[in-house]
Amino acid sequence: MEPFVSGKGGLEPTERRRVARHLLLDGFGLSAQERLAASRVVVVGAGGLGSPVLQYLAAAGVGTLGVIDDDAVELSNLQRQVLHTAADVGRGKTDSAADALRALAPGVEVIAHRERLTRENAASILGGYHLVVDGSDTFETRYAVSDAAAGLGLPVVWGSVLGWDGQVSVFWSAAPDGRAITYPDVFGPQPPEGESCATVGVLSPACGVVGSTMAVEAVKVLTGTGDPALGRLLAYDARTSAWDTVPLAAPAPGVDGDPGQDGAPQGSAVADDAAAPPPSSAGPVEATAGVLLLDVGLRPGAVPGAVFARLEDLAAGSFPDELLDHPLDGPVLVVCERGLRSRGAEQLLRAEGWRDVTSHAILG
């Protein structure tokens, strides 16, 4: 593939020394490094995937890095979001990321966008960059990124990770040689939100594996080196450390793509924060004699007669007194709005010794 960015030439001697191992690399060399120095890359999300992407792109010599994130650093982020430290808890992730990247690569220009990317602002934010790296964790953001990038003709390096599984691909509406393909071409129309790391967990080093692979794809697209994963989906299974390649093809005009179960292509791993539908059992619940009704939903007091607990507190080992007083063999019914957080809580409670735990969605 042809390089996406033209090099500006004239790397400073200090920078040439810093990236000397690139200059020695067969098929890369000075011309590719100059393209990186001229590149403007924006990364959506400074979390588990954005952390290694940003670190490696800054270290590799990308000249300008934009960081889009409206969240603050939380203690539970530090298990996988290695760009941030314990001292950054409470700070905006864009501020923390900018400091870390400037310390790593003093020559990099970091532009912090501390805001949530939406359909309304996506085009105006992304328009100043050559390439988008999407490490977001909701369908809403992914589709907003895809639509804006397609309108601007920008390539998108996309990745996801959930539990033990990860995915990486490259989408580009303006790709040459008939290779144009976008995220909706593969995953179909935008589905409802699904599972997330907050509900089913994630293996922290898997974020590093997937994020580093996303950085590799970004470098290849920018410099025209190697063969980017355009038209291919790379599926990673951390349980076996195996990578599978799923060939992708844009649907024929007028034909809807088959997104497969949960908006993922057939045979692929499950997308980050993307996947499973609510449990089949859904609807109102009420307290029953002998059963502890535990609500881990988003609104305290939404379920009459239930004991409320935050899923994050349960994960931290902080249990309500009513649960601690409940027999380990006594029935526990865990509920939330869509059944996602309650499934995560069910697994946590079983791991803590409660044997009769079931989960339920209170909304259909």
Indicate which residues carry an active-site annotation.
197, 336
Q: Are β-strands 232-237 and 131-134 bridged in parallel, bridged antiparallel, or unpaired?
A: unpaired
Tokens linked to 340 = 């996602």
How many CB atoms lie under 10 A from the CB of residue 75? 11
Residue 25's Cβ-side half-sphere holds a number of Cα atoms within 13 Å equal to 15
* Phi then psi dihedrals of residue 161, to 5 deg: -150, 140
- The closest of 54, 41, 62 to 101, measured between CA atoms, is 54
Give me the residue label for tokens 């400037």: 102
* DSSP type of residue 277: P
CA torsion sign, 11 to 215 to 135 to 259?
A: positive
Contacts of 138 (CB under 8 A, 6+ apart): 193, 273
Q: Are β-strands 232-237 and 242-247 bridged in parallel, bridged antiparallel, or unpaired?
A: antiparallel
Q: What is the Cα Rg of the chain in Å?
A: 22
Rounded distance between C-alpha atoms, residue 209 and residue 52, angstroms: 9
